[in-house]
Structure 1
Amino acid sequence: MSAIAPTPSAALRSHWLVCAAMLLMLIVYNVVCQVWGNELQITVSEERRVLVRSVLYAVAIVLFPLTNLTKHILLRLNQTMPGPRTAGQRYFTTIAVSQALIEWVGLFGPIMIVLGDGFNTLYIFSLMHGLGIFLHRPKMAEYRAIADALSARDNRGE
């Protein structure tokens, strides 16, 4: 480990790249659905489509607090679990897992387009996904809490 601490922006650069990749995928989903949406659609009855849409809305609604709980648990584990991993590596795992869970919400829009639903549903799921990316973005305070906890643990000799 180097004696020089990374600057705050450098410490979370890879974390922000994960968020940028998720945002890029969201944009790609929307562009693909806009350009090739009609060719991708299959014929599904209205009743089945409404059922699938309702289930996906429910899953999306449940994923938000579940992701928040998962992130909270991972943050606490990052502060308390022993091991050689640095604070940056630990926090990167937390961000990657949180963003991966929220990514499912972004996939629900293209799924509904394939099932023959309209663009309104795509936009709703896309906005929810964008909100999830924003809510679970890297935060310097969370990173510092992990770094401080690991530093305190190392000073105690654990």
Structure 2
Amino acid sequence: MGNQVEREHLKSDLILPWVIVGMMLAMLAAYIIICHTVGEQLQQPLPEAQRVLVRTILYVIAIVTFPLTNLIRHIQLRLNQTMPCSPATQGAVATAKSRYLVTVIVSMSLVEVVGIFGLVMFMLGDGFNTLYIFTGLSALGLFLYQPKVSEYSEIIDAISAQSHE
């Protein structure tokens, strides 16, 4: 019973990170809505050869972004657990909450950039297909790197163990 209450408390601590994920999803939806409503006025078509080159470069960057985001997130999570706390901090939970929030913001921002690539390619003259592909990849990244109670609780446990040493 106590474990369930603790888990609910941890979930409530993750409201702000989930709000950030929601905002990122709303931005992806906004890109699609904007392109459908005023898309023709936004487009400044490039010649096909240049557009293919730019699209290829952006696909390569998008492909590299996912493992890079995973690596950065892994490093941040370990740093969150191992960085010493200053004596003036308000406790393990407050420290873990702020540290994990930064981790979520960095992860979400990195994968949101992939969605922006779709908007950029649409503005450069590509069709909706490219917009949907980049937006879908970005939405997948938001799902993969969503806030997790287990990660957050590990940070709290590690910081608590530090303060008891």
TM-score by length of 1: 0.93
Q: In structure 2, which of residues 21, 25, 28 is the aligned counterpart of residue 26 of structure 1?
A: 28
Structure 1: 4+ residue segments shifted above 3 A: none
Structure 1, 6-15 or 52-61: larger mean CA deviation = 6-15
Q: Does 1:135 align with 2:144?
A: yes
Whether the aligned pair in 1 keeps the contact of 2:10 and 2:153 (CA below 8 Å) is no
Q: Does 1:112 align with 2:112?
A: no
Q: How does 1:1-150 map to 2 (within 5 A)?
A: 7-83=9-85, 84=89, 86-150=95-159
1:8 deviates by: 2.3
> Over residues 104-154 of structure 1, what are the superposed CA-to-partner deviations in whole Å (9 max), with x where a residue is unaligned?
101001100110000000000010000000001000000011000000001
Structure 2 residue runs of 5 or longer lacking an equivalent are 1-5
Structure 2 length as normaliser, TM-score?
0.89
Structure-2 separation of matches of 1:43 and 1:97:
32
- Superposition RMSD on alpha carbons, in Å? 1.1
Q: Percent identity?
A: 50
Which sections of structure 1, spanning at least 5 residues, go unmatched? none
Matched residues, number: 152
